[in-house]
A and B are shown apart, each in its own frame.
Chain A
Amino acid sequence: EVQLLESGGGLAQPGGSLRLSCEASGFTFSNHAMSWVRQAPGKGLEWVSGVSNSDGSTNYADSVKGRFTISRENSKNTLYLQMNSLKAEDTAVYYCVKGGWGNYYDYWGQGTLVTVSS
């Protein structure tokens, strides 16, 4: 059974940083691209970033480019999202999603809430 377990969410101050993690199980993590998607309270879904399985290539939405960094550690079956220079508009539930970069999207985690507020 595929499982994606996000962690690391919480309260951060504007201008601060947080690092999200997503621990994957039930599939060969190193063989699949992975992505982050977020959803602000009461709003729609927004694709944030993706990382390939092959060479670690990355892509970002314009709204987070230069502030967020996606990475993966295949030996630990874990995906990360380093979020710097946080803004109030980054407040959202962040979902880890299996897929992207030429792989189709299939499984979603349950999400972790990030709140940016002073």
Chain B
Amino acid sequence: QAVVTQEPSLTVSPGGTVTLTCGSSTGAVTGGHYTHWFQQKPGQAPRTLIHDTSNKHSWTPARFSGSLLGGKAALTLSGAQPEDEAEYYCLLSYSGVWVFGGGTKLTVL
């Protein structure tokens, strides 16, 4: 089974920009991995932010965007808000078997 890697933790200043990445042990992440990004706050169920690399849901704040960057999937937060402090997980598809990354704890400080 593939291993999906994320930064364990990142810190961003309020109003700042930060990029979280998601890599695959099998090689470059491509559109065929149908990358998803999820946000989870303590005590809550996860919430889907991005699907299929860069597509937002109706509830996804405009300050979040998804892309492919240097062989990895990326989630960029532009103009961080205090309420963005959370754990962020990426999810990749490997021919119908899905694998989560270990998560990135994002601190807004």
- The verdict on A26 contacting chain B, using a C-beta distance below 8 Å, is no
CB distance from B31 to the nearest CB of A (A): 13
Please report whether the interface of chain B is mostly helix, strand, loop or mixed according to DSSP.
strand
**A109: chain B residues within 8 A (beta carbon):** 45
CB distance from B10 to the nearest CB of A (A): 16
Question: For residues 63 through 109 of chain B, which have their beta carbon under 8 Å from a beta carbon of chain A?
Answer: 87, 89, 91, 96-103
What residue in chain A is nearest B59 (Cβ atoms)? A106
Q: How far is the CA of A47 from the CA of B97 in the complex (A)?
A: 8
Contact check, B57 vs A106: say whether CB atoms are below 8 A apart. Answer: yes
Contact check, A110 vs B45: say whether CB atoms are below 8 A apart. Answer: yes
CB distance from B11 to the nearest CB of A (A): 19
Q: Which stretch from A13-21, A66-74, A76-84, A97-105 is at the chain B interface?
A: A97-105
CB distance from B74 to the nearest CB of A (A): 18
Contact check, A105 vs B48: say whether CB atoms are below 8 A apart. Answer: yes
Question: For residues 31 through 59 of chain A, which have their beta carbon under 8 Å from a beta carbon of chain B?
Answer: 35, 37, 44-47, 50, 59
B residues near A (Cβ < 8 Å) are 1, 34, 36, 38, 40, 45-48, 51-52, 55, 57, 87, 89, 91, 96-103
24 examples of A-B residue contacts, CB within 8 angstroms: A37-B100, A44-B87, A44-B100, A44-B102, A44-B103, A45-B38, A45-B46, A45-B100, A45-B103, A47-B100, A61-B1, A61-B97, A99-B51, A100-B98, A101-B96, A104-B36, A104-B51, A105-B51, A106-B51, A106-B57, A108-B45, A108-B46, A108-B47, A109-B45
